[in-house]
Amino acid sequence: MQRLKLPPLARTALIRVGSGFVTLFLVSLIIFAAIAVLPGDFAKVALGRAATPETVANFQKSIGLDRPLPERYAKWIGKTLTGDLGMSFSSGSGTPRTVVSIVGPRLKNTLFLAAITAICCVPLALALGMIAAIRRNSWVDRLLNTVTLVGISFPEFFVAYVLMLLFAVKLPIFYSLARITPNMTASEIALRLALPIATLSLGIIAHMMRMTRAAIINLLSAPYVEMAKLKGVTTRDIVLRHALPNAWAPIAAVVAFNLAYLIVGVVVVEVVFVYPGIGQAMVDAVRSRDIPVVQACALIFATAYVLLNLLADIVAIATNPRLAHPR
């Protein structure tokens, strides 16, 4: 019987998907083990200091904390695979809440903020990177490199507080708190998200622009580019028609990395601007020792990072088929 032979791209994509599942499995083990070894009694924190030992023991039994760690992990990962993230340990209203009902709306808010930031950042960063590569060693290139280097050097919380001080306190143009409600208009949402988007954009544009510039400059010394120069092709056409298509592999990798950062690394920005995203939900859950919410948020972060890197690998292989053939 003849074996089915898959195209190189499909075969490599399946291998990457398999490695992604293995990575997520290992990450889930690390997440569960890291939370399990944290000091303190989660039941005592949830019930308060006035709780009696009998109440604490009954609470631990009701939520399964009295079970062995392997059994608790198997139950958690089994339910997670079916879409059931469990029940929250804490509830402000006194009624039990599912983790999905807590994390779901927050995840939508984070994805919304990440999508708006990506729409603003990715085209601008790619354009600036190409301009810097075309105008290499000119005053434009030096200015862009200086500005981006400064942007990368400052931590996010510092940039956030500086922007808040300048444009929300000294010049009250925007809002220092990014709380949004469903009944807000588009202009009101834009005013409240302007400072968080600006904070995220500064570092992302700087990183993506520098990587795009480096990738294109690296290809401008290739023999086929030299041949195009000898034929009289303009620098603009060389970059757009010859260098850029071959630079999509490293550019796709850095774009995916920064998109993953937008989802995973928004914790600081969400906390500073009190934005109701998944990062803020995770911080609140850590404070209240809400184990299921912390586990769900950490697993969502890991899944987003793995999926975006998987997509970057597939895009890189599709644009450069040589990567599909091992040397």
User: How confident is the model over 49-78, as a mean pLDDT?
Assistant: 77
| Percent of the chain scoring above 70 in pLDDT | 87
- Domain 100-324: CATH class, spelled out: mainly alpha
* In the chain, domain spans: 23-81, 100-324
User: How confident is the model over 251-269, as a mean pLDDT?
Assistant: 77
Q: What is the pLDDT of residue 154?
A: 82
| Cα 134 from Cα 242, distance rounded (Å) | 13
pLDDT band at residue 324 using 50, 70 and 90 as cut-offs = low
> Residues 150, 155, 156, 159: is their CA dihedral positive or negative?
negative
Q: What is the pLDDT of residue 92?
A: 46
The distance from CA 266 to its chain's CA centroid, rounded to whole angstroms, is 7
Confidence check: pLDDT of 2 > 60: no
pTM: 0.78
From residue 309, give the alpha-carbon distance in Å to each of 12, 19, 164, 313, 314: 14, 11, 33, 6, 9
User: How confident is the model over 299-314, as a mean pLDDT?
Assistant: 82
Chain segment 183-230, per-residue pLDDT in tens: 878 888 888 888 888 888 888 888 888 888 887 777 777 777 777 777
Per-position DSSP letters for 44-88, written without gaps between them: HHHH-TT--HHHHHHHHHHHTTTS-HHHHHHHHHHHHHTT---B-
Chain segment 281-291, per-residue pLDDT in tens: 888 888 777 78
